[in-house]
Structure formats: structure tokens, C-alpha cells
Structure 1
């Protein structure tokens, strides 16, 4: 399962901390941006999924290997790591766009919940879109 997406994100001044480097909270937002690019690129935009379900974040890991500063551009590659019946996992690599240096890695795990927040199976259309397979009716 090698589904992936790439986006470029420029570090904004408001995303930097007192030391002048991108704050770790900004990195988590960038992971979300990469994840949404992958999901939207699957042919089933997240706005469509969100009409009946959400992919609730249950785990985030982030390793910042090198700092980014205002004006740097990160190229974020998001990979669909695993799709289960109720869970989706993504892996991330962040490279400095101009030097190509790996600046960070991350992973997120999500469980499917319905609009009331109850655990739910991933809808077949979501699984099919993420895997790029035709949806199979149950």
C-alpha cells in the first residue's frame, strides 16, 4: 500500500517560537495538512467523509531532526501506512525543500467514529478510496 501525497509548506512567522524556530505545534498542523492532501487526493474529499464519520486522532508521534525557521519551506510526504476495519495509520517525512535534508518524521493513528463520537467501522467507500479500489457492497 504505497499511497502518498506531497505538499510544500512555508514556515510562517506566527509559527515560530522565542528561539526563532518553528514551534512543535506547527509541525503537528503540517502533518494534518499532508494527511488531508492524501485523503482529498484519493477521490473522496474529507468533507464528504465528515458528513457521516470522522477520523479521530488517537496517536501522534513526531521526531524533529533539524529545526526550521521563518521562510524555510518543508516538503511533506505523507504515506498511507495501514487501513484496517476501524483504524487508519499515516507516516510522514518532512524534508527541507531546497536542501533535501530530512528535518522530521512522524506518524499518526486514527480511529473511525460516527457523528456522535462512537467507534465505527470505516465505511467501505472510504476504505476503497484510500486503497484506490472499487467499493464492494456488503
Structure 2
């Protein structure tokens, strides 16, 4: 079973555009929130990882299927898609919390870098935490 995390995010007025819908840049921020919830839930918070390494975003894909407006709540499911020696990929599904309708999908790919910004292997402790089976609910 792949590691996953779920969070709810309410669309803030400041995240909407002139058309009254959530701006696409807000969606990318929500992906980050979901990703950090997954990483922090692995037992090794990102703040600990960041002491020696960073997971630099090298690719973002986002498909907005239905708009969200101020006050809507999105349920974001983040799944650890792949863990390689230097790269990590996360996949995302966003559903309208009240209706359950799929409103968006996305993926991000990250390369591990050291504090000087050089590509690095993922530390063993990070790989172990991400691959660890989640505790049963």
C-alpha cells in the first residue's frame, strides 16, 4: 500500500481571480500543503530533512477539471508515487469535499539536493521514512 495523506483546504478569497474562481497558482500551493502533510506523517518531518537536504521541485503538472470558488473546501489526497535514489514523485487528487466530485489532479517530481544545491542521493533515513508502511487507522 502506497503512503498517502489527506487534508482539507478551504478556498480563501485572496486565492480567487477576477472570474471568482481559485487561481491556478493557489492549486500549486495546495499540492505543497498535501505533500508536506504526507512527508510530516511519515515520522520524519520536512523540517528535519531540511537540516541537511531539500526536495527541489523540478516538475509540476496540474489538471483543473472543475473550478473552485471562495468558500469551497477541497479534499486533497496525496500519494507517494515513486521513490528513486535521487528523485521522489507525488501524485494528487483534489475532490470537492461536499459533492465528492473530482476537481483536479496533479503530480510533482522532486530532486534531492544538499544545502549547497548539488544533486544528492536521498538520505537513507528519508527513503526509509517514506517507504515505511503507514500505521493502521
TM-score of the superposed pair, with normalisation by structure 2: 0.96
Who is 1:3 aligned against?
Answer: 3
- CA positional deviation for 1:103: 0.0
Q: CA-atom RMSD, angstroms? A: 3.6
Q: Distance in 2 between matches of 1:104 and 1:50?
A: 29
Structure 1 residues 63, 134: closer, same or farther in 2, change over 3 A?
Answer: closer
Q: Distance in 1 between matches of 2:79 and 2:22?
A: 23
Ranges in structure 2 where 5+ consecutive residues have no aligned partner: none
Q: Distance in 2 between matches of 1:17 and 1:136?
A: 40
Residues 34-85 of structure 1 show CA distances to partners (whole Å, capped at 9, x for unaligned) of 0000000000000000000000000000000000000000000000000000
Q: How many residue pairs end up in the alignment?
A: 137
Displaced runs of 4+ in structure 1, greater than 2 A?
133-137
TM-score of the superposed pair, with normalisation by structure 1: 0.95
- CA positional deviation for 1:2: 1.0
The answer as to whether partners of 2:12 and 2:70 remain within 8 angstroms in 1 is yes
The answer as to whether partners of 1:82 and 1:88 remain within 8 angstroms in 2 is yes
